[in-house]
Every structure is written in C-alpha cells, then in structure tokens.
C-alpha cells in the first residue's frame, strides 16, 4: 500500500482553503489545517468524516495574523512527526480602501496576514523538505498580485509581495528538489463576497481553485507549474 502523503493548509476552514482541504482529503492525503474559529473547524471535521477513504484531518484553532499564532500552528504540525509533502499558504484577508484614506494600520494588518503568515510557516517547515530533497509549496496569491485596482490599497501591496516571496523561493529551492507554485485566482465564490449583489455565475467556484492546486501537486517531481492565473469566464469584477 502506498504511504499517504501529508499536506499542510493554512486557514482551511472556509472558502478556497476549505475546498483545498476537502480536495486533498478526498484524494487520500493526510491534511493538517487551522482557523481562528473552532466552530468552523468542527464543521470542517464533520464534512471530512463524511468523505470515503480519506486520510486523517488534524486541526487547531490559532490566529495566523500574529507570528505567535503561526509558531503555534507550525509546532502543532512538527509534533505530528510526519514528513510534509505539500504546504498550501492560503491564509489571507482584505481591508478595502485607498492608500490615501484607508484605516491606519491597514498595511501592517495586510502584510502580517497575507505575507508574514506564509513567510514564517514556510520557514518552519522547510528544514524537513530540504533534508528529504522533496516537497511542494503552493502560495495562494491573487489577481491583485499583478494588477492593482482602486480600493485595493494595502491588500494589493501585500499580494504583490506574496508573489515576490514565491518567486524568490522558486529560485532558492530549485536545487533542493522542492517545487514552488503561485496560484493567482480572480474572484471565487466564498463568504468573503457575501454582501456583493452579483449572481453566483459571475464568480469561479472555489472547487476549481482547489482542483488547480491538486493538479499542480500531482505532476511528476521533474515538472513544476510556476504560476497559475485563473479568472471567471466573464473576467474580473
């Protein structure tokens, strides 16, 4: 029997993160994830339990907008004693506004959650991958990583930086056999768009983003998809 692979997904209780967790679990992988909400993690666990033939699901409630929260999650992962095959840096958040008038502290908040969480979690988990000369890091970036837009403010800055982080990792880890992929999705239907008065057909299903993550991971170790740019059929909103 083939040994189950292990994936670490940050912020996996809703939206794209939840879809990624369930997609990987349905493929038989062990998944370790986190969320600020224990209630949402409990709901995720129930969904996971209903899937046939899945690997294990381990969860912990912690806040990845704080370095201490990232450290807590990383320690939780390491203590499992499993070799990590895939890290999906999905944690992120959005504060609307222009640089000229967005709330004070918006940049710090966006950088901490969208960039620092990925940076610190990756640094915690890289030694295991480097020692084995294998693994895959997938960073969930955004269309906002390449195209600035009005009222995107500090969110765009943070997402541009996350794509830069991915590109640097890609160069550093080539020789170690570790793949790095940046996923740049446009608007996907999740509760973060709950107050927008648009039909569901105007958005991508989060399951499509999860499918891209899984497909990129499923390729031969000799091949890496460096960037995946996906948009709703009718374009950005």
Q: What is the pLDDT of residues 201-227, one digit of tens each?
A: 899 999 999 999 999 999 999 999 999
Which pLDDT band, with edges at 50, 70 and 90, does 192 fall under?
Answer: low
Structural tokens at position 40: 């949402």
Mean pLDDT, residues 127-144 taken together: 98
Rounded mean pLDDT of 169-191? Answer: 95
For the cut 50, the answer to whether the pLDDT of residue 97 exceeds it is yes
Grade residue 43 by pLDDT with cuts at 50, 70 and 90.
very high
Look over the chain and give the mean of its residue pLDDT values, rounded to a whole number: 95
Give CA separation, 229 vs 3, 130, 225, in Å. Answer: 32, 27, 11
pLDDT value of residue 193: 66
Predicted local confidence at residue 52, as pLDDT: 87
Helix (H), strand (E) at residue 117: helix 117-132
- Predicted confidence at residue 1, as pLDDT, reads 37
Torsion of CA 78, 79, 81, 82, to 10 degrees: -50
pLDDT of residue 156: 98
Distance in angstroms (rounded) separating the CA atoms of residues 236 and 146 = 13
Which domains occur in the chain, in start order?
6-230 (3.40.50.720)
Q: Which pLDDT value is given to residue 41?
A: 98
Sign of the CA dihedral with 90 first, then 96, 98, and 104 last: negative
Q: What percent of the chain has pLDDT over 70?
A: 97
């Amino acid at each position: 029997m083939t040994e189950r692979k292990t994936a670490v997904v940050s912020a996996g209780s809703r939206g794209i993160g939840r879809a990624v967790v369930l997609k990987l679990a349905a493929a038989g992988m062990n998944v370790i994830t986190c969320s600020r909400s224990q209630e949402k993690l409990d709901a995720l666990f129930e969904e996971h339990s209903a899937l046939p033939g899945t690997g294990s699901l381990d969860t912990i409630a912690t806040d990845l907008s704080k370095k201490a929260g990232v450290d807590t999650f990383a320690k939780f992962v390491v203590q499992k004693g499993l070799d990590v095959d895939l890290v999906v840096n999905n944690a992120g958040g959005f504060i609307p506004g222009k640089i000229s008038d967005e709330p004070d502290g918006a940049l710090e908040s966006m950088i901490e959650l969208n960039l620092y969480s990925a940076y610190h979690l990756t640094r915690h988990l890289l030694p295991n991958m480097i020692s084995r000369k294998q693994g895959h890091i997938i960073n969930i970036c955004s269309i906002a990583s390449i195209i600035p837009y009005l009222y995107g403010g500090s969110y765009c800055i943070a997402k541009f930086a996350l794509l830069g982080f991915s590109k640097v990792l890609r160069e550093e880890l080539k020789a170690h056999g570790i793949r790095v992929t940046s996923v740049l999705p446009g608007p996907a239907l999740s509760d973060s768009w709950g107050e927008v008065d648009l039909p569901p057909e105007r958005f991508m299903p989060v399951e499509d983003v999860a499918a891209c993550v899984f497909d990129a991971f499923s390729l031969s170790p000799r091949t890496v998809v460096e960037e995946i740019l996906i948009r709703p059929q009718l374009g950005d909103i």
